[in-house]
Amino acid sequence: MIKILVLGAGAVGLGLSSFLLQSGCSVTIVGKKEVVDLLRGKGLSRIGIFGELYYSPGTFCAISNLNDISPEEYDFILVCVKSFDSEALSRQLEKLVKFDSPNIVLCQNGWGNAEKFLKYFSKMNVFNARVITGFIRPEPNIVEVTVHAQPVHLGSLFISDLKRLSLLSEAISGGGLPCEVTQEIAKDLWAKMLYNCPLNALGAILEVPYGSLGEEKSSRIIMDGIIEEVFIVMEAMGYQTHWQNTQEYLEEFYGKLLPSTYEHESSMLQDMRNGKKTEIESINGIIIEEGIKRNIEVPFNHLICNLIHFLQEKQNPP
């Protein structure tokens, strides 16, 4: 039986856990105490487009303190915490496992998470997952699958030998969520950035689902500008994605990607509603950071970041 440690009991962590449990894996979920208490008492429920399932407390383990277990005993460690927690989590995890022992799979938004884990772990053991299935949590122990665009992709930014990921891919697929191993995970992650940068923050600022953003010329102008800046910065960093240029991507963005997630609300909007910190720094903020390093101006991304910062500060004043 494959042993999976899921770090983070948010929507993505619980969503992936539900599919792994469905495939027969041994799953341990690490989350905040209030969520863990509910999982232990009421179990984990999944609803939405993949059907309804329920896992009783005895079918999985839920803990609130990572120090209570030995992470080295697990075949895979799935990191599902918010990107701004990557640094602290990698430092904590480093104290509990050997440098080259865990298979760490980062299932997070944004760019730059892998580099944070490389400070403490070998590049042979740090992998990335591109997850563009939409998960929300209507209740702390209930996860809903709202949209599914493409299979989960697993890969590495650093090595080409990905044989060990086949075991995890088969487990996720066996639970009903399509999953594939790819040599082009960098292209996938940048494709997700091209999707998240124009939609995630703007959907939160305007408090509308993704589809509404594509209906008006005014919002399209903003998204077009953000996407063009992402392309410029991405190429300046030495990366490519699945589209040759901005125009080619925009045609698919408005023609296929946006309509397929028409009713989906962004994770930032969910975070703002719950008074939580957003991941703006690892999404649009990364474009600003990398642009500054290369003397590339990115005014549309600056605007979006500043608006999110304003809303966060207004919501949580000093």
DSSP for 247-270, written as a single string: HHHHHHIIIIIHHHTTTPPPHHHH
Domain boundaries, the chain: 3-183, 186-315
Q: Is the pLDDT of residue 214 over 90?
A: yes
Q: Give 266-288 pLDDT, tens digit per residue.
A: 889 989 998 889 999 999 999 99
Give the β-pairing of 53-55 and 44-48: antiparallel
- How many CB atoms neighbour CB 217 within 10 A? 6
Which CATH number fits the domain 186-315, given the four candidates 1.10.3470.10, 1.10.1040.10, 1.10.4030.10, 3.40.140.10? 1.10.1040.10
159-202 confidence digits (pLDDT tens) = 999 999 999 999 999 999 999 999 999 999 999 999 999 999 99
Please state at what angle helix 299-315 crosses helix 284-293, rounded to 10 degrees.
130
Q: Please, where are the H alpha helices in the chain?
A: 11-22, 33-42, 86-94, 113-117, 165-174, 185-206, 210-213, 217-236, 246-252, 258-260, 267-273, 284-293, 299-315
Q: Is the dihedral of CA 160, 244, 152, 106 positive or negative?
A: positive
Q: What is the pLDDT confidence band of residue 318, given thresholds at 50, 70 and 90?
A: low
Q: What is the pTM for the complete model shown?
A: 0.93
Give the chain's mean pLDDT.
94
Q: Is the confidence at residue 252, as pLDDT, over 90?
A: yes
Query: For residue range 39-68, what is the model confidence (pLDDT) as tens digits?
Result: 999 999 999 999 999 999 999 999 999 989
CB 4 within 8 A of CB 161: no
pLDDT at res. 285: 97
**Residue 132 — φ and ψ, nearest 5°?**
-120, 25
User: Are residues 121 and 100 in contact, defined by beta-carbon separation less than 8 angstroms?
Assistant: yes
pLDDT band of residue 218 (cuts 50, 70, 90) is very high
pLDDT of residue 235: 97
| For residues 60-88, average pLDDT | 93
Is the pLDDT at 147 greater than 90? The verdict is no
Strand order through the sheet with 152-155: 61-63, 26-30, 3-7, 76-79, 104-106, 126-130, 152-155, 179-181
The pLDDT assigned to 314 comes to 85
pLDDT in tens, 103-114: 999 999 999 999
Average pLDDT on 137-145 reads: 95
Is the domain covering 3-183 a CATH 3.40.50.720 domain? yes
pLDDT attached to residue 270: 87
Query: Cα torsion at 52, 58, 60, 64 (round to 10°)?
Result: 110
First and final C-alpha spacing in the chain: 49
Question: CA angle, corner 80, sides to 46 and 83, nearest 5?
Answer: 135
Q: What is the 3-state secondary structure (H, E, C) of 186-214?
A: HHHHHHHHHHHHHHHHHHHHHCCCHHHHC
Nearest to 7 by CA among 93, 115, 124: 93
pLDDT for residue 99: 65
pLDDT beyond 70 at 33? yes
pLDDT digits (tens, 9 = 90+) for 220-251: 999 999 999 999 999 999 999 999 999 999 99
What is the predicted pLDDT for the residue at 316?
Answer: 76
Nearest Cα neighbor of 111 from 195, 14, 223 is 195
CA-CA distance, 202 to 131, in Å (whole number)? 20
